[in-house]
Amino acid sequence: MRHMFFSLLVGAALVLGGAAEAEDMGTIRLGAAVSLTGKYSSNGAFTRNGYDLAVKRINEEGGVTVRGKPYKLEIVYYDDESTPARGAQLVERLIQQDGVQYLLGPYSSGLTEAIAPVTEKYGVPMVEANGAAVSLFRKNYRYLFAVLSTTDQYLRGAVDLAAKVHDDPSKVRVAMAFENDPFSQDVREGVMEDTAKHGMKVVIDDKLPPELNDMSATLTKARVLKPDLLLLSGHDKGAALAVRQVADQRLNLPMMALTHCDSAQIAEKFGAAAEYTLCAAQWAPTLKYSDELFGSAADYAALYEETYGHPAPYQAAESSAAVQVFADAFERAGSLDPKAVRDALSATDMMTFYGPIKFDETGKNVSKPTVLFQVQGGSYVVVYPQEFAEADFIWPTPAWSDR
Amino acid sequence: MLDNLSLFFQYPSLAADVIVNGLLIGAIFALAAYGMALVWGVLNIVNVVQGELVVLGGYVTFLAVQAGLPPLLGFPLSAAVMFCVGWFIYRAIIFRVVDKDIFISILATFGLSILFQQLANAVFGSDVRTVDAGLGSLHLFDGTVTLSYVKLLAFLLALGAGLTLWLFLRHARLGQAIRATAQNPRAARILGIDTNRVYAMTYALNGALCGAAGSLAVMAWTIHPYIGLPYTVRSFMVVVVAGVGNVAGVVAAGLGLGALENVAGFVFGVEFQIAFVFGLMVVILVWRNAMAARKRSYLE
């Protein structure tokens, strides 16, 4: 509370100070409960950084203009401690006690699922950037909008690539290991659909526990069954373990595709062991998207790194984009009424440094593709989809004995 | 599940791989379990914070490697640092609960475990950490059985530590004092043993064992602030099976648990590996209870 009071005070001082140039500048308050402690604390911090960076840039550029009147953006934060119940509680508090009428999303699908019923109940529009579970968009929520691609898209590209490099896709043998949580199971659903379409044979289909600490059982099976492609998703720890243990066991896999390997920093932490790994991502600084606020994707990445001292993860980029979507909707709505803002949000059709954003009737962004990196020479290089590829996909991964 | 079982028969080397790897892992469990057995036997405390001490030991090695030290130096370093941490924990908290009801000590150590989880999360972040010892792997039988040298080393170090502990308890003055205190603290005090010091040393020794286990765990797998509980549960099970005053039994039970757990993980799927461990604990507790009841009725 004291902190909030202080920031209001500072906000007021800023408004007074800037009064000479912008007379009577109003403030639009957005609310967000993000994970600053608990198991999502690192990705929660990225989320917050992304929000803050966009707010800072928008305010520097004169804020948001609604019906000719300029407004500054401001975010009221709470820490949801990475627990869904706490998240829902805090959102209730943001809306009821703090009078916030527009919400930015938390980190992770699980927390978004906990919060969405609350925002829906009060008719408060929420733009979220870090909840991609397919199930979120099957509940006919009207006030939920997501700037990122849904989870089932993550590894479909890898299946597509495998189909392209093999002469006969139906001969491809696929091994899958997915954590038993909503996120990874959605990823699995997407690839199951595509492997079936190509007639590929699934030889391993393991579920990994949330307290995963060892995946040698799956890898041991892979050694005798010799799959052509390993698909794996288990957040940061899954990515780190997979890279680590495949190298330890010197398991030869012609192709391995993971989620979360950029946030797990596999190239930085594991060096040569991570080479040739494919990584699914929502966004990359090398993509050729741009907008007026941040410039190109590369400009955003440079600004982010300058501000926060570490490379820009996609979790931060999508969070910044969520704020941009709100700013755009305020201006088009010409009103601060939540209903009008909600309608403007649903009509969003804009280009950002993060990619094109356009929502379907369920609120998910349908116009942005996901990308695949491959670790080549210690850095993440986009190899898929074709139109954004910076380098050719190297296949097959050389055997350990030839490295 | 049946697919997995049939793989065992199609590829016998696979079974060898799974079992041998399980035995190697078991050595790390045994290490943490020695510590728990010591504290349980001497202080009569079920040390619920055991797993968090293991995780902290892992972080010590992780930090040492970050600072540029060779990973293998992390092993003695983790043990030494955690020895001091253990001593400090005893002096700050544990001494207050030594003679109290067992539930009080369980609550106290449970509280400590939450505190350490949150501290680790605040200080080191929730990221998954691992250390590459850079030792590579040993390949047997045409590459069908793979043993990473780290696990092999962990196995040898764990056995070495067990042997040292056994010799220490048997022959060293302090070791004898520890055993005497475990047998009868009052008599030990009368005979001039400073039991308070013995308690502190025992708890510190437990810290060192956990630190050593954590150092091996971070080299063999990964650690993060919330991975402590499975280590606590495994240690608890091993001690329940082997009994508190039985170093050889602890080693055997630890290795057995490792092998069993690995086979279960392979056959039922990794998702059920921890579930299997917890399930096994229930079975063992029920069995121990039944045995105790039988003994009681026999004595009556």
* Tens of pLDDT, residues B29-45: 999 998 999 999 999 99
Confidence label for B300 from pLDDT (cuts 50, 70 and 90):
confident
pLDDT at residue A322 greater than cutoff 70:
yes
> Between chains, do A223 and B146 touch, taking CB under 8 Å as contact?
yes
Q: Can you tell me whether residue A135 is helix, strand or coil? A: helix
Helix (H, G, I), strand (E, B) or coil at A133: coil
Report the residue from B125, B230, B271 with minimal CB separation from A41: B125
**Token duo for residue A278:** 């494919």
Judged against a pLDDT cut of 60, whether residue A27 lies above it is answered with yes
pLDDT-wise least confident of A205-219, A247-261, B137-151: B137-151
Residue A20: predicted pLDDT: 42
C-alpha–C-alpha distance, residues B39 and A218, integer Å: 36
The mean of the pLDDT values for chain B is 88
Report the pLDDT averaged over residues A331-341.
94
**Would you call the peptide bond into A117 cis, given omega within 30 degrees of 0 as the criterion?**
no
Q: What is the rounded CA–CA span in Å between residue A250 and residue A400?
A: 6
Q: Do B4 and A248 touch (CB under 8 A)?
A: no
| ipTM reported for the complex surpasses 0.85 | no
Band of the pLDDT at A3, cuts 50, 70, 90?
Answer: low
Q: How far apart are CA A328 and CA A317, in angstroms?
A: 17
Task: Please report residues of B whose CB lies closer than 8 A to that of A273.
Answer: 132
Q: How many CA atoms lie within 13 A of B65 on its CB side?
A: 21
Contacting residues for B21 by C-beta, under 8 A, at least 6 apart: A216, A220, B147, B151, B262
Query: Does residue B55 contact residue B228 with C-beta atoms inside 8 Å?
Result: yes
CB pairs under 8 A between A and B: 110
Contacts of B25 in chain A (CB under 8 A): 214
Chain B residues within an 8 Å CB radius of A220: 14, 17-18, 21, 266
Please count the other Cβ atoms lying within 10 Å of the Cβ belonging to residue B96: 12
Rounded CA separation A382/B298 (Å): 73
Chain A residues in contact with B126 (beta carbon < 8 A): 38-42, 82
Averaged confidence pLDDT in chain A: 90
Retrieve residue A212's tokens.
Answer: 């995963």
Of residues A39, A215, A244, nearest to B126 (C-beta): A39
Domain ranges of chain A: 18-149+285-358, 153-281+370-402
pLDDT at A7 (0 to 100)? 55
Q: Which of residues 138-197 of B touch A (CB under 8 A)?
A: 139, 143-144, 146, 148, 150
Distance CA B51, CA B45 (A): 15
CATH of A153-281+370-402, picked from 3.40.1160.10, 3.40.50.620, 3.40.50.2300, 3.40.50.300, is 3.40.50.2300
Higher pLDDT, A19 or B193: B193
d(CA A132, CA A318): 11
Is B244's Cβ below 8 Å from some Cβ in A? no
Q: What confidence score (pLDDT) does residue A19 get? A: 44
Residue B204 to residue B39: CA distance in whole angstroms: 10
Distance from CA of B217 to the nearest CA of A (A): 10
**CATH for the stretch B2-299:** 1.10.3470
Q: Which of the residues A40, A248, A250, A400 would you substitute to probe the B interface, choosing the one with the greatest number of B C-beta atoms within 10 Å?
A: A248
Q: Is the pLDDT of residue A21 over 50?
A: no
Measured in angstroms, the CA of A200 and the nearest CA of chain B are apart by: 18
A218 vs B contacts (CB less than 8 Å): 270
- Interface contact B7-A236, CB threshold 8 A: no
Q: Of B10, B125, B275, which has the smallest distance from its Cβ to A42's Cβ?
A: B125
CA of A269 to nearest chain B CA: how many angstroms apart?
Answer: 9
Q: What is the pLDDT of residues B195-241, one digit of tens each?
A: 999 999 999 999 999 999 999 999 888 898 988 998 999 999 999 88
Confidence of residue A401 (pLDDT cuts 50, 70, 90): confident
Of A24-38, A306-320, B147-161, B195-209, minimum mean pLDDT range: B147-161
**Lowest pLDDT segment from A14-23, A389-398, B229-238:** A14-23
Closest Cα in chain A, distance from residue B59 (Å): 16
More confidently predicted of B150 and B48: B48
Number of residues written out for chain A: 403
CA–CA gap between residue B158 and residue B136 (Å, rounded): 19
Contact A90, A106 (CB under 8 A): no
User: Which of the pair, A276 or A37, is modelled with greater confidence?
Assistant: A276
Least confident of B86-90, B121-125, B134-138, B214-218: B134-138
Contacts of B274 in chain A (CB under 8 A): 209, 211
Nearest residue on chain B to A210, judged by CA atoms? B271
Average pLDDT of B60-77? 92
| pLDDT of amino acid A23 | 53
A279-289 pLDDT, tens digit each = 998 888 888 89
A254 touches B37 (CB < 8 A): no
d(CA A306, CA A312): 10
Convert the pLDDT of each residue in A294-303 to its tens digit.
999 999 999 9
Chain B residue with CA closest to A178: the answer is B271
User: Which pLDDT band holds residue A22 (cuts at 50, 70, 90)?
Assistant: very low
Neighbouring CB atoms inside 10 A of B71's CB total: 19
The answer to whether A279 touches A157, Cβ cutoff 8 Å, is no
pLDDT digits (tens, 9 = 90+) for A92-135: 999 999 999 999 999 988 899 999 999 999 999 999 999 988 88
Residues in A closer than 8 angstroms to B18, CB to CB, are 217, 220
- Categorize the per-residue pLDDT at A5 as very low, low, confident or very high, splitting at 50, 70 and 90: low
Site from B6, B127, B142 to mutate, A interface, most A CB atoms within 10 angstroms: B127
Tell me whether B52 touches chain A (CB under 8 Å).
no
DSSP A263-300: TTTHHHHHGGGGTT-EEEES--TTS--EETTTEEHHHH
Which residues on A lie below 8 Å from B22 (Cβ)? none
Does the domain at residues A18-149+285-358 carry the CATH identifier 3.40.50.2300? yes
Instruction: Please state the rounded mean pLDDT for residues B240-260.
Output: 88
Nearest to A38 among B18, B121, B272 (CB): B121
Q: Which of A327, A326, A322, A304 is nearest to A49 (CA)?
A: A304
- Option in B146, B226, B271 nearest A207 (CB): B271
**Could you tell me which residue, A2 or A180, shows the higher pLDDT?**
A180
Task: Kindly state the percentage of chain A with pLDDT values over 90.
Answer: 67
Other CB atoms closer than 10 Å to residue A276's CB: what's the count? Answer: 19
Which residues in chain B are closer than 8 Å to A38, comparing Cβ atoms? Answer: 121, 126
d(CA B219, CA B65): 11
Query: If DSSP states are collapsed to H, E and C, what string results for chain B?
Result: CHHHHHHHHHCHHHHHHHHHHHHHHHHHHHHHHHHHHHHHHHHCCCCCCHHHHHHHHHHHHHHHHHCCCCHHHHHHHHHHHHHHHHHHHHHHCHHHCCCCCHHHHHHHHHHHHHHHHHHHHHHHCCCCECCCCCCCEEEECCCCEEEEHHHHHHHHHHHHHHHHHHHHHHHCHHHHHHHHHHHCHHHHHHCCCCHHHHHHHHHHHHHHHHHHHHHHHHHHCCECCCCHHHHHHHHHHHHHHHCCCCHHHHHHHHHHHHHHHHHHHHHHCHHHHHHHHHHHHHHHHHHHHHHHHHHHHHHC
Do A18-149+285-358 and A153-281+370-402 agree at the fold level?
Answer: yes
pLDDT for position A236 = 84
CA-nearest residue to A242 within chain B is: B221
Give pLDDT, residue A4.
53
Q: State both tokens at A105.
A: 């999303």
- In Å, how far is A224's CA from the nearest CA of chain B? 8
Does residue A8 carry a pLDDT above 60? Answer: no
**Long-range CB pairs of A54-61, under 8 A, 24+ apart, other chains included:** A54/A293, A54/A319, A54/A320, A54/A321, A54/A322, A54/A323, A54/A324, A54/A327, A55/A30, A55/A323, A57/A293, A57/A294, A57/A303, A58/A293, A58/A323, A58/A324, A58/A327, A61/A293
A387: helix, coil or strand?
A: helix
| pLDDT tens sequence across A213-247 | 788 888 888 988 999 999 999 888 889 889 988 98
Contacts of B7 in chain A (CB under 8 A): 221, 224-225
- Residue A190: which pLDDT band, with cuts at 50, 70 and 90? very high
